Chains A and B, each alone.
Chain A
Amino acid sequence: MCQAVLKHHQLLPLLPRFNIKLGFGEKNVEEVCRLNRVNTDFFLEIANAYLDEDYIPQTDLSLFPIGSVVAYLTSTHDYYLHIALPKIESKISRLLEGSNLSEKERGLVAGFFDDYKKEFLDHISREEDSVLPYILELEKQSMKEEPDSGFLRSLQNDTIKEFAQEHDRLENSLENLSKLIIKYLPPFEDFDLCHQVLTDLSDLVRDLVDHAHMEDKILVPRVIELEQQLTRKFNAG
């Protein structure tokens, strides 16, 4: 495990999402996963997909319980809200404080980030308040002999299709901010801090792309499959 993280330090942000802590000693990936009650195959698939966008899953991802996918997505949301965004926000405000930007330019950057954060929060709370609970309930119902008729009726509402279609591309908008800094704003005095902001932004964009990929390519198809199974069962019975 130590070697994997040393060689690919980009994996570090993933560890807390699985509640894995450092201090691995001589333990290998499987041992670390077992100790933390993480499904090793699931961890490996996520880690590989995170490192290489061309990576093709080796294990049939539909084998993993939806619950663990949802748990991973939720802890990723926590990371965005409590770590990634506040970190960028405070660096941006420090960057603006020490800059020669005009009032208008400052307002542009600060206003952009404020509104971005609001949209981001909206998006995540919509997901956590309606979409993810719906998916967990779907999995629970699909394991029952007799699913609740009330829930079955709500299946007709196309919750997940709507979600998949409306799935905002949260990362595109962030890239505009980097472009603005690199191309259009007057240069910042503190280049090192500016460098950090741009690096953090680009890390976050990459992470968001990976996150959307998980949702679109793994979660949504699985949910559609479960919905269809349930509907068939219901119509047959």
Chain B
Amino acid sequence: MKQVNFILAVESYLVRKGMAVVLQRIPGASVVKEFGSVDLLTRYLEHHGMDFLIISDTLFANATDLYMNNPALLERTILLNRDPSAEDRGKKTRGCISLSEEKEEIISKINELLNPYFRDYRANTHGSLTDREKTIVRLLSMGLTNRQIADRLFLSTHTVTTHRKNIIHKLGIKSVSGLTVYAIVNNIITIDEVTSKHER
């Protein structure tokens, strides 16, 4: 699983922890370090990398030197504003969050930022099976072999194998028995339709 590293720089302990808890709710986002002052943040960034910096407006105002020496940092900065009406104010940061925003708003903003990082990962875990893949899972649960499935669906066995690989990739389930139980609990097949091992 790919991981996107965040650094938090907020003077208020409560706000910092609150932000960290929200980030924990986002798969793949990880808070690697928290700072309450610009000094420590500057020193840390001299030696360490990160993907995004979430910084409060107060600390941002104190960090002019940091940004002067490292202009590329702006591109990776998310501003945390106390004043909800204070948009980006032409500061050219990557984005901004306001303290008064609700959890869902914050999460969707951050998810948007993460999208380019996660295109593959999300497609794998959040994408459900296609109709064709569901059909194949269904037939597998009924005890058909790759060959039989290929004949039934007028496909080559090679295509069926490719579908099966994609299914394994999406669900992380390899065995037919695992797929069968998956198919039942996801209403792709009923228990009555399943063929048990000794019937095969």
Contact = CB atoms under 8 A, between A and B. Distances in A.
Interface in B50-106: none
Nearest to B169: A166
A217 B24 CA distance: 11
A177 interface: yes
Nearest to A56: B20
Contact of A184 (B17, B31, B184): B184
Given A56-B24, A103-B198, A104-B194, A216 B177 contact: no
A53 B24 contact: yes
A121 to B, nearest CB: 12
B175 A116 contact: yes
A104 B21 contact: no
Nearest to B5: A221
Given A56-B24, A105-B191, A217-B30, A112 B172 contact: no
A116 B178 contact: yes
> Which interface residue of B171, B175, B176 has the most chain A CB atoms within 10 A?
B175
B196 A184 contact: no
Interface residues of A, number: 35
Nearest to B33: A60
B197 interface: yes
Question: Chain A at the B interface: mostly helix, strand, loop or mixed?
Answer: helix
B105 to A, nearest CB: 19
B158 interface: no
> Which interface residue of A170, A173, A177 has the most chain B CB atoms within 10 A?
A173
A108 B194 CA distance: 9
Contacts of A183: 185
Interface string A165-194: 101111011001101100111000000000
Contacts of A168: 172
> Which interface residue of A114, A176, A180, A184 has the most chain B CB atoms within 10 A?
A176
A19 to B, nearest CB: 29
Interface string A193-237: 000000000000000000000001100110000000000000000
Interface in B140-198: 171-178, 180-182, 184-185, 191, 194, 196-198
A22 interface: no
A12 interface: no
A112 B181 contact: yes
B24 A119 contact: no
B174 A108 contact: no
Contact of B1 (A107, A177, A179, A216): A216
Contact of B181 (A118, A176, A221): A176
Contact of A107 (B2, B171, B198): B198
B17 A56 contact: yes
Contacts of A172: 171-173
B3 interface: yes
A133 interface: no
Given A53-B24, A104-B194, A216-B1, 7 more contacts: A56-B24, A56-B31, A112-B180, A173-B173, A216-B3, A220-B3, A221-B5
Interface of A: 53-54, 56, 60, 103-105, 107-108, 111-112, 114-116, 118-119, 164-165, 167-170, 172-173, 176-177, 179-180, 183-185, 216-217, 220-221
Q: 8 closest Cβ contacts across the A-B interface? A: A115-B175, A104-B196, A111-B177, A179-B185, A107-B196, A169-B172, A112-B177, A115-B177
